[in-house]
A and B are shown apart, each in its own frame.
Chain A
């Protein structure tokens, strides 16, 4: 048990920033640039960690709770989820609800930390983030329910367990395809990627997630970035598992398949970001309602 937990956390902590490097490299290739080194996200984290804090006098402890919760939540969530063929270290009935709302908790604290600064920008960003994620939440829940009804179980370990491979064959493939698309959209929304948000923009009026963390600096910003990278990896892990439900039985091979899947997904995100412009802000809720409908439809297909 302790060994499994350590392995899972070590995987997450070590590999989380890598997909970001892959995304940036892919985008650079599409733009005809060399781009930053693959390991740039690691260098950035190291650089931020060496810096000092600058904390506004108007803020309270909530301001620092945001980054801390943002860092801890993906670590906890990762313990509930199988990474590829590796089984989940902690598993109990109904843990999928905990999984979904752990991210809700982190969002609450990030938004509270943003409001704590009293800046009109950050308030605007918090309002946007909360609006979009509460629309993304049903999609995530319905998608998990689709998997749950296939697996006849309510724990994530079983949902993403060895039975998933069978689902693709026994007539549920249409549903799985639909929720893959829906979850991919959730992945992009939750991790503030194009077309829903632009992680590279400097235009504070258009930002969603980035504007909430404008006042954080140094190690606090590092914690936020690290937390975001881990969140990307945890959510990606679900998609990778749905797309590649292979189970070799060998720990090493399962691990390699999982990591390769993660990097492929990062390339896919990079391609989407390079070929699409950002959506207009009022369009985002419409897209999210669309994906909710998509996941409900998938559920109907499974229950039929």
Chain B
């Protein structure tokens, strides 16, 4: 059988595992570093326990050729860490260490990610007592010592109604020298719940993987099953998914700009955007009955159709909303006092963003052209999106300006999508999944690239399901943006990234 060292494929196709060579670790390592050096990004890196060993899979995205690539190897016990040469793997390797008791030798920052017990019967590499649930945040934090150096700990219980996460600042006066973020307080074990599936409950779990990205995660989940079942989704269903995705982007981006304005104490925009966000959520509710798009996206298509008469009033309301939204946003971007706060705050350099593998809004604000809608479109809607929004400064202003311009671009996209809404079926029955295959599915959620990967067993059931929320990559970007900054700017930087906690905790 002809087995290639590296398997290259396109988004939406399932890879039969029989065609993928099993490399030894040295080969795996060289291929991985070569791929990254040639401009690929690692979109997923995960393990699947086989016998007493763990099979490592690495999936790359070559953005400018719209190509995905896959390699695998097997490791046992410990393996030399790739993080020093390829920093974007740092969290993936920590995750492997926690899930399978593997030790990435030479990892510079080997700490738990989610504080759960190992998935397989393996010794914990941190020596935590077996059979006990680890306590989130129970680890050695990085510490700076010296005159006038002080430590500030925030969370996991916060003053606002937000998710739990722990932040440790090492400060010299008002200046932050280092920020360490510890998550895992909401670990639910979603990936393991899918093993042996897909179960009837799986789609609901996907909707709740990260509540503010319901459409993003369910779209990716549906695409993944469709790839594995080789199901060609009707164009109308794809258009409706795209509409829901843009509405989700609008609601969240508008809400974020309002929250950013609120953080700097600019009240009018904060209040207006808070209301407008609700209006966009209500539009989604009109589509499917849920403000967050639950129940809309189903494997094989969509759960609800748009009535023949609905597009017109929909477009009218959208026009009205567009006018109000532009007014509220421009008010904020025209205020010198607001710009004074946004500009130059929370800088992330482009090379750091690239090394850490940032995605989505945070990456585009650093000048990196990363947009799944452009690079890896799924199905028949390839021609709808051609202009990713790029800013170059990497500060809070750049991140909010990407959002502002994406809001305006989403209006255009929605108008086009409504105008060219294809007729026809909205859902096809999903056949059985291909056995012993792997599929990758990506989508540009409002926060960034959402990636799901599944490997099926001999019976066509899911043997390993891997979810990567954009927040997984971007939390390190937030920590970096605070280096040398003011501690009082943290809430503003945090809001400019607006990352999901449960999307990482899973």
List residues of chain A with CB under 8 Å of any chain B CB: 27, 30-33, 120-121, 123-124, 128, 194-195, 198, 200-206, 273-283
Contacts and interface: CB of A to CB of B under 8 A. Distances in A.
B345 A274 contact: no
A31 B272 contact: yes
Interface string B314-340: 000000000000000000000101101
Interface string B33-48: 0000000000000000
Interface of B: 150-154, 159-160, 174, 261, 263-268, 270-272, 275, 335, 337-338, 340-341, 345, 486-492
B264 A124 contact: no
B205 to A, nearest CB: 32
A278 B265 contact: yes
Contact of B174 (A195, A200, A201, A281): A281
Contacts of B486: 280-282
A195 B267 contact: no
Contacts of B337: 195, 276-279
Contact of B487 (A200, A205, A278): A205
Contacts of A206: 263, 488-492
Contact of B341 (A121, A205, A277): A277
Contacts, number: 88
Contacts of B490: 205-206
Contacts of A200: 265
A277 B160 CA distance: 20
Central interface residue in A124, A205, A275, A283, by most chain B CB within 10 Å = A205
Central interface residue in A30, A121, A128, A203, by most chain B CB within 10 Å = A203
Given A124-B487, A274-B267, A274-B268, A280 B340 contact: yes
A280 B489 contact: yes
A31 B174 contact: no
Nearest to A203: B491
Contacts of B270: 31
Given A202-B160, A277-B337, A195 B272 contact: no
Contact of B338 (A121, A204, A274, A277): A277
A74 to B, nearest CB: 25
B328 to A, nearest CB: 10
Contacts of B489: 206, 280-281
Given A32-B275, A204-B159, 6 more contacts: A120-B152, A201-B263, A277-B338, A280-B340, A280-B488, A282-B486
Nearest to B491: A203
A33 B270 CA distance: 11
Given A195-B265, A276-B266, A32 B341 contact: no
